[in-house]
Amino acid sequence: MTTHRIGLVVPSSNVTVETEMPAILARHPSADFSFHSTRMRMHTVSPAGLAAMNAQRERCVMEIADASPEVILYACLVAVMVGGPGEHRRVESAVAEQLATGGSEALVRSSAGALAEGLRALGARRVALVTPYLKPLAQQVVEYLEAEGFEIADWRALEVSDNNEVGCIPGEQVMAAARSLDLSDVDALVLSCCVQMPSLSLIEPAEQEFGIPVLSAATAGAYSILRSLGLDVSIDGAGSLLRARATV
């Protein structure tokens, strides 16, 4: 079985993406994966903290390129979305250009772009969100997705600014926020609009409870990685997005 090498560019205080992404892709029926991370210093999820983190991008990209990954995921959704509409395209293009200059042929994806990709794959137009962010940052996420053509029917911000604490938000709190949403005529629910807020174990139960497709930044990232590699996107136990029976 082929082993595909995946690079992750993550905030220094993030632990969830390095837990949930391997857990998802370990279930793939026909491929193996290894995961290799590089870290950008960040503790407080604020405009200043995110700007300081993004300033470290070039160093981190070249460090992870040394591991010769096939795909690199820029795994901080809000850090990209605060850059304004279409920022994930600019970031992915800039990283790809930097890699090519350094002789790397790695493919580039971002959590921000992957979420939009996943929602489109589900045919979702009217969407609800649960985010861990302070309300001003959550509003920027809403506006970013609206600029991508989605209608955000309702959203919740749990208002946790410490990124270490985001990684410890209880599932019960995430589900309570989801239950408080107006899900009338909603096409999909983004249960965790952040790769640091844990939600993988909640995806399937939430789909059963709410009767709509449920995804997260992590499941969308896994979907985008699989598509970029031309692999089957069928993964058990990770929601509707990863139940497709062939590469879309």
Domains and CATH numbers, the chain: 3-111+219-243 (3.40.50.12500), 114-217 (3.40.50.12500)
Instruction: Choose, from 60, 76, 168, 193, the residue flagged as catalytic.
Output: 76
Residue 194 annotated among the catalytic residues of the structure: yes
Catalytic member of 60, 168, 193, 194 = 194
pLDDT digits (tens, 9 = 90+) for 43-102: 666 677 667 767 777 788 888 888 899 999 988 888 889 889 998 898 888 888 888 887
Please say if the pLDDT value at position 248 is more than 50: no
Return the pLDDT at 220. Answer: 96
Mean pLDDT, residues 216-225 taken together: 96
Is 76 marked as binding a ligand? yes
CA-CA distance, 197 to 218, in Å (whole number)? Answer: 9
At 214, is the pLDDT very low, low, confident or very high (cuts 50, 70, 90)? very high
How does pLDDT run across 157-199, given as a tens digit for each residue?
999 988 778 888 999 999 999 999 999 999 999 999 888 899 9
54 known member of a binding site: no
pLDDT at 12: 74
Closest by Cα among 183, 186, 115, 111 to 151: 186
Task: Give this prediction's pTM.
Answer: 0.91
Cβ atoms of 240 and 206 within 8 Å: the answer is: no
CA distance 162 to 44: 5
193 assigned to active site:
no
Helical segments of the chain, H only = 17-25, 47-54, 57-65, 77-81, 87-101, 111-121, 135-147, 163-166, 171-179, 203-210, 217-228
Is 60 known as a binding-site position? no
Question: Is residue 163 annotated as involved in ligand binding?
Answer: yes
